[in-house]
Amino acid sequence: MNCYRSVNAITMEDDNLEKKWLVNDLSDAEKEAFDKLDDAELNQKIIKGAQQFKASQFSSIEDLETFKTRIDSEKKPVITLQAYKLAFRIAAIFVIGLGVYFTFFFTNITTIETLASQKTTIELPDASLVMLNADSKIAYHKKKWQSNRALKLTGEAFFKVAKGSKFDVITSEGTISVLGTQFNVKSRENYFEVICFEGLVRVSSNNQTIELSKGKSIRIINKKTVSEIVERTKPDWLTDKSQYKSVPLYLVLEELKRQYNIEINSNKIDTQLLFTGGFVHTNLDEALKTITIPFNLTYKKDSSNKISLYTIE
């Protein structure tokens, strides 16, 4: 029993020495006792081996912060459901705003147009008259008419303007300004014509301004300007006729299509030939003959509204 206690006491004493040695807390006397232990040599080898051990990699605090910054920069933005809701609300407000804008600015615009083979007469707020030819359109601001007599024209129209403030007819090819007169404006693709039947009109087009008095006209075809004297007192189309002087045939055929609401196949003829003459708006066969015979042409009705033109062999 005494022998056991002696061994146990020695073992506990040795353990205490080893613990103090590990934390480098041995006194001189204890260090001398530790060096005499049986395991002292083995313990010294363990310490020397541990001192040689180095981790393969390790990151400092600075490296870690750099790493976090890089990861954050590579993150893709995430659009949450709330962000989508906000985007839809903004879009809805934008659409509503556009609707209010267009409603406010365009509901007071009066637009009148004719279809192919249709003509009509319009009385403007100041009692001026507009006779609209086939396939034509005018647009004007009714509420502002008394302070701004201006309208936009696409196609052809004859005007009887009541006296008053300046009256403007705006087309894609030019602007016609008058104070009180009668005139005809034709504004088609590659064709612009103004004829003054009474009073005085000012035409601004093709980088030039020309004043026309009664009986004078100006015609611009493919940017070439021609001035002529007119003896008639009103446009021919008001009496269901179309008259031309040295006008390319393709422009004549375009008017024929408008007046009769038909399709014309002219691929086999030369439509650049100049035509002088006219045709009626009330009889298609008669109109076709007056156009084709002078050029030694003939025609064939492929259907009720389709016509093909040919050269007579």
pLDDT band at 308 (very low <50, low <70, confident <90, very high): very high
pLDDT at 101 over 70: no
The percent of residues in the chain predicted with pLDDT above 70, rounded, is 69
Q: How far apart are CA 290 and CA 243, in angstroms?
A: 11
Q: Output the pLDDT for position 9.
A: 46
Q: What is the mean pLDDT of residues 29-40?
A: 68
Q: Are the C-beta atoms of residues 219 and 225 closer than 8 Å to each other?
A: yes
Strand locations in 69-173 (E) = 109-113, 120-123, 129-132, 137-141, 149-160, 167-170
pLDDT band at 286 (very low <50, low <70, confident <90, very high): very high
Q: How far apart are CA 231 and CA 254, in angstroms?
A: 25
Residue 11, beta-bridge partner list: none
Give residue-wise pLDDT tens across range 6-17. Answer: 434 445 566 666
What Cα–Cα distance (Å) separates residue 187 from each residue in 190, 194, 299? 8, 9, 28
Give residue-wise pLDDT tens across range 255-266. Answer: 999 999 999 999
pLDDT at 153 over 70: yes
pLDDT band at 29 (very low <50, low <70, confident <90, very high): confident
User: 98-112, 168-182, 259-273, 280-294: lowest mean pLDDT where?
Assistant: 98-112
pLDDT at 38 over 50: yes
Q: Output the pLDDT for position 131.
A: 98
pTM of the predicted model over 0.75: no
> DSSP string spanning 167-213?
EEEE-SSEEEEESS-EEEEEEETTEEEEEEEESEEEEEETTEEEEEE
pLDDT at 141 over 70: yes
**Domains parsed from the chain with CATH numbers:** 2-59 (no CATH), 110-239 (2.60.120.1440), 241-313 (3.55.50.30)
Q: Are the C-beta atoms of residues 122 and 138 closer than 8 Å to each other?
A: yes
Q: Are the C-beta atoms of residues 183 and 201 closer than 8 Å to each other?
A: yes
Q: Are the C-beta atoms of residues 179 and 198 closer than 8 Å to each other?
A: no
| Mean pLDDT score across all residues of the chain | 81
Give residue-wise pLDDT tens across range 177-235. Answer: 998 899 999 999 989 999 999 999 999 988 889 999 999 999 999 889 999 999 999 99
What Cα–Cα distance (Å) separates residue 261 from each residue in 95, 256, 302, 306? 39, 8, 15, 9
Q: What is the mean pLDDT of residues 84-89?
A: 52
